[in-house]
Amino acid sequence: MADHSSSYFRLTEGARLPEGPRLHEGEQLLWHGRASVAEHLYSETMTRSAVRWTLPSSTTVTVTDRRLTFAGPMELEDGAERGRAWSHRAWIRRRDSRAMVGQLLYQWPYHLYVHSTQEVLLVCGAALAGGRPTLALSGGDVGGGFLANILRRAIAGFRIQHADVLGLNETKIATLGGLMNGPNFQRKVGSVPLPGALLLGFQQEREYADAALAAVHRSRALH
């Protein structure tokens, strides 16, 4: 897997909304539509959350076989919140007063929730987070269970394909295989665990063993 980590963490000024999906070489488009996108920091019990930032229903969302990307006009948090909105640094590529462009890699989500026919949550873990950073998609073209099924299979397929660099054992690979072939989300509410997730910002399991790199990721998670 190519390492594009520098673009994941760097924020630059003057971001403009891209025209249509922008794919890496060999990347396969699975879904493209519009939805509201937000970052929540859920409690460990998933019973309450704080909203860190939101993008309106005109936000463009793209799902591929490697990642989920989004681009939309930013609704900036106030100055007091801005200093604490730490976790977006892992998935926001750039932002300014006009636009925010970001992505969520399939290494990160460890639980997928369908809260209604129009809301999907991708829950991640992060070092010293004080909760569970969660990317929420709602409204627009989301269609709850439909998009959740696409994401479940895409994430499972990605992890099986890259099982070696993610450090997955045979049990986790077998479970992921079941997610690819399992029944669709039919109800308005449902959830499924996603085995083999890495902490937000990490791309390969071996990075956990690199103390210096791990320290960098943890320090970024605090800002």
**Residue 172, pLDDT score:** 94
pTM of the model: 0.78
Give the Cα separation of 155 and 104 in Å (integer). 11
Answer whether 144's CB lies under 8 Å from 188's CB.
Answer: yes
**Residue 122, pLDDT score:** 93
Give the Cα separation of 132 and 111 in Å (integer). 10
Task: Look up the CATH number of domain 5-220.
Answer: 2.30.29.30
Q: What is the pLDDT along the chain (223 residues), one digit of tens a residue?
A: 433 333 222 223 335 555 556 788 899 999 999 999 888 888 877 777 788 778 899 989 999 999 998 888 765 544 334 433 334 455 555 554 567 788 899 999 999 998 877 899 999 987 666 778 889 999 989 876 889 999 999 999 999 999 999 999 999 999 999 998 877 776 556 889 999 998 887 888 777 766 555 555 544 444 3
Number of helical H runs and strand E runs in the chain: 7, 11
Answer whether 118's CB lies under 8 Å from 207's CB.
Answer: no
Give the Cα separation of 67 and 165 in Å (integer). 16
**Residue 216, pLDDT score:** 53
- The crossing angle, in degrees rounded to 10, of helices 145-161 and 170-181 is 150
Question: How is the chain split into domains, by residue range?
Answer: 5-220
